[in-house]
A and B are shown apart, each in its own frame.
Chain A
Amino acid sequence: MRAIRPGCCVLGVAALSMGVAHSETLPPDLREGRAVYEKWCAPCHDPGIEHPGTHALMTKYSGSPRASGIITEWKDLTPQYIRFMVRHGMSVMPHFRKTEITDSQLDALARYLSRMRPPVAP
């Protein structure tokens, strides 16, 4: 008999990050954000038109620097914009509650998704 009885398998973002290969090459301060992305954003926003968020953004931003529709590659995302989108949603994307993505996880996500932004000149 093969039965798994873990007692308490508490599912959390930190645990999920272990399975994310990309996170291994990321600086430590971006790994939690990447894990939040993988859990909550990737099913709609990973590359490919089979991801409805990516397909919608490809369509919306056709011909612009955002034309790939792939938010992890965009270079103009600010932390404020990410926080706003997660808490307000857009079109068929709903907003996310703090029991889903806590404020600190959202900060980590915002840092991760805005990492491609060029540094602002002093």
Chain B
Amino acid sequence: MRVPPGVSAAAYAKALTEFEQVVGKEWVFTTDEDLDLYRDAYSPFLNEPEERIASGALAPSSTEQVQQIVRIANKYRIPLYTISTGKNLGYGGSAPAYSGSVVLDLKRMNRILEVNEQNAYALVEPGVSYFDLYKYIQENKLKVWIDCPDPGWGSVVGNALDRGGGYTTANYRNHFDSHCGMEIVLPDGELLRTGMGAIPNSKTWQQYKSGCGPWIDGIFSQSNYGIVTKMGFWLMPEPEAYLRCTVSVPRYQDLIPLIEILNYVENSRISAGFPDIESPLLGYPPIGQLQLWIEKGPPRMSEEHVRLLKGARVGYSAELEAHGLRAGIPYWRLWLSFHGPQEVIAAQWQATQRLFARIAGAKFEVRDTVRFPLDPAKVTDYHEPELGVPSLRVFSIGARTPWNPTPSKGHMWFSPIIPRSGEAIIEANKVFSEAASSLGMPLFNSFTLPACFWERCFIFILATPVTEDPQTNRRYREGFKKLIAVGGAHGWGEYRTAPVFQQTVMDVYSYNNHSLQRFHATLKDAIDPNGILSAGRYAIWPKHLREQKS
């Protein structure tokens, strides 16, 4: 039997007996066969000694059981590691950050406690997936949308706590920002409710976020200060209609005013839908059509076009630009979407065109008009999450297709936040393409365009494959860490990362001699003095493990 680090076999045996009394023998896992199911399927340490593994797993079905487990863990100093649906693939999956921890698997806590259509919010437990919530809303014919990331089997709570993003409108795409109210089991087993939930018999827990006094919700995201057992979310009222349009511009330097105007249009809520940037000339698809390119193959290019692409540097050559102008192939194309009553979104599109018209040669097209509810048979014509529909289609990335005969074993996402400007896109491409090339990292074709999940910044997302070959994985891991440092040297930091890289990423956030990390440690020691909750998550270590590491 595996035993957690720092715990005697005898103490662990006693703890397991007490855990079984709480959750039932069936939901305490200790055999290698069962615990292998808690391995990270996309681990960059696949089959290497450093792969993070679980010593045990517990699957409670209620908040009360979580409280009892935490009290037992304190008694025997058992390191726990909390997961919700365990599908955070590319960011650690269901494996602990501190190898040997006992995974606290909340998948069985899968109750949808409330969906309120009139004021558009929901209250759910951590085991509820986007598929579950969507299905519930559809079955009850409620006129609200969820905002989901690409993989629909993820936890609504877990994704928000890891600060994931989605694809509908600006108010909802940042999943942590769109939450309202939490219930948390603290490391001593105490139960806490945040915001208006701190009032007994509160009437507005999911309607006003901050309550009164310090608003502490943020410290329970990307952290290990508590176990979130309920979480509220604001939902989007189903729009009457959806309009998808494009703005195409012909020249390389047009990227700069294109982004400037996008920022105004989005920050003013003239267009609130997910902005998606494409380069037809560079052969770079919009995120919303990536799946179509993978499924059907990328559009064909002329031999001349391919030759000119090879000669481009940081996505540019005068010859390539001239070719685009001659052939009528735009350098950049911005996809915008509008949600609401038809007369409103028509006016918004009209204003949008007037604003972008200051770019010489800008062309405007309406691509799609949709009235809701959408015919279910037509959903796959779209990038489903942009319509609030969960899917698993994103797993075509890396999977075997006629265009990808060698599938990967998984991937890890390199995803620094960069400024919302055309200049930053060009600079990030220059910096990271040079770095990736020198490190032998398979990240770049010719040019990468960022994702616009959130207002006021871009996420520059690059997928690094996980392979079956440890040597290749080692090279990619080391390269990944160097890319993180290169980004940090330019003032860019990751928004989220897998446990393997969390220390490296947090080391970039080093202002004033790492005062942020030192504050995190101070909080950890105060809130969780025995260090039982999710040690190492986002580089927050309990005191006894910090001392071991130093």
Contact = CB atoms under 8 A, between A and B. Distances in A.
Given A43-B152, A91-B409, A98-B29, A55 B110 contact: no
A3 interface: yes
A120 interface: no
Interface in A91-107: 91-100
A87 interface: yes
Given A56-B401, A98-B29, A9 B41 contact: no
Contacts of A49: 295-296
The majority secondary structure among interface residues of chain A is: loop
A22 interface: no
User: Considering residues A48, A55, A92, A99, which has the most beta carbons from chain B within 10 angstroms of its beta carbon?
Assistant: A99
Contacts of A55: 295, 396, 399-401
Interface in A20-49: 39, 43-44, 48-49
13 contacts: A2-B117, A4-B115, A4-B116, A6-B114, A19-B135, A43-B391, A55-B400, A91-B408, A92-B395, A93-B395, A94-B41, A94-B93, A100-B107
A87 B152 contact: no
User: Considering residues B93, B399, B410, which has the most beta carbons from chain A within 10 angstroms of its beta carbon?
Assistant: B399
B399 A50 contact: no
A32 B87 CA distance: 23
A95 B111 contact: no
A96 B34 CA distance: 10
Nearest to A43: B392
Contacts of A98: 29, 34, 37
B59 A91 contact: no
B440 interface: no
Interface of B: 27, 29, 34, 36-39, 41-42, 57, 59, 85-87, 89, 93-94, 105, 107-108, 110-118, 128, 131-132, 135-136, 139-140, 142, 152-153, 291, 295-296, 380, 391-393, 395-402, 405, 407-411
B118 A97 contact: no
Given A3-B117, A11-B112, A92-B408, 10 more contacts: A2-B142, A3-B114, A52-B392, A53-B399, A56-B399, A59-B401, A59-B402, A91-B408, A92-B395, A92-B409
A8 B392 contact: no
Contacts of B37: 87, 95-98
A97 B395 contact: no
Interface of A: 1-11, 16, 19, 39, 43-44, 48-53, 55-56, 59-60, 87, 89, 91-100
User: Considering residues B140, B397, B400, B405, which has the most beta carbons from chain A within 10 angstroms of its beta carbon?
Assistant: B400
Contacts of A4: 114-117, 140, 142
Nearest to B379: A50
A44 B258 CA distance: 37
Nearest to B409: A91
B203 to A, nearest CB: 12
A8 B87 CA distance: 23
B230 to A, nearest CB: 12
Contacts of B408: 91-92
**A-B pairs, 8 with minimum CB distance:** A94-B41, A99-B107, A56-B400, A43-B392, A52-B396, A91-B407, A52-B395, A97-B37
